[in-house]
Amino acid sequence: MVMAKYSANINVMVRAAEKAARSLLRDFGEVEQLQVSKKGPADFVSAADIRAEEIIQKELSRARPDFGFLMEEKGLIEPKNSSNSRWIIDPLDGTTNFLHGIPHWAISIALEENNIIIAGVIYDPIKDELFWAEKGSGAFMSNKRLRVSGRRNIQDTVIAIATPNIGHEENIHSEFATQLASVIKAVTATRRLGAAALDLAYVAAGRFDGFWEMNLSPWDVAAGSIIIKEAGGYITDIDGMNNYIYGKSVVAANPNIQKDLRAMVNNK
């Protein structure tokens, strides 16, 4: 990877992601021996997640000791010395894929400053694809500029989806079934790949035309949200508001179809 174009913050994030990736790739090669526990009926945490998060936290803390953290495994660590910045980290997005030997998972790191996401990195170690963006500077895959798709007709689109896991309330499954029924009869195809951060990165890259999901956590969305926006996409919560980081619902798409997609999945 060519580092010259990256800002100081992006350099720090990329180094942390690459170091964690080396650990995850070793664990992925021995996934059958990996120690795994359950947080919920379909909510796995493995030694790989924990190791990767520790590596990322250590690397970022060394470079930016005053910044806080919001992490999937360790939770919230407040900033120091009146800093208004914190890292939002998913050390292994797509854990179920990882634990089943499916080579589609990623590391997601975002930087939040004064409650605004200002930088994001999503790294897919298997394909060696690095998606990144910084506020006002555009979105990139390595050094290639990213742009959302230009499709204008919803019937021509491919939409990424995310089926609810077991353990959710029954109404979540019925709500999703209604949403999906509305979408599948209007679009060319849907795809369920199992890693929300990569779904968002793929929308930014024009591989998908749109994506929606309910019951997400901030670390699932934070990095992808700025990459989408800097690639010319549009992202809101399901009600069309800007509460997509902490509001648990996301509808992201190119600006031509985002409103139509949101209308289809909003069952109110």
pLDDT at 142 over 90: no
- Superfamily of domain covering 8-145: Fructose-1,6-Bisphosphatase, subunit A, domain 1 (3.30.540.10)
Three-state DSSP class for 253?
strand
Cβ pair 174, 164 in contact under 8 A:
no
pLDDT in tens, 181-232: 999 999 999 999 999 999 999 999 999 999 999 989 999 999 999 999 999 9
DSSP states of 189-212 as a string?
EEE--S-HHHHHHHHHTTSSSEEE
Q: What is the mean pLDDT of the chain?
A: 91
pLDDT of residue 73: 84
Residue 164 has pLDDT above 90, yes or no: no
CATH architecture of 154-265: 3-Layer(aba) Sandwich (3.40)
Q: Is residue 130 within 8 Å of residue 123, measured between CB atoms?
A: yes
Joined tokens for residue 224 = 């992808």
Domain range summary for the chain, segments of one domain joined by +: 8-145, 154-265
Percent of the chain with pLDDT over 70: 92
Q: What would the pLDDT profile of 31-70 be if each residue is shown by its tens digit?
A: 877 777 665 544 556 788 999 999 999 999 999 999 999 9
What is the pTM assigned to this prediction? Answer: 0.92
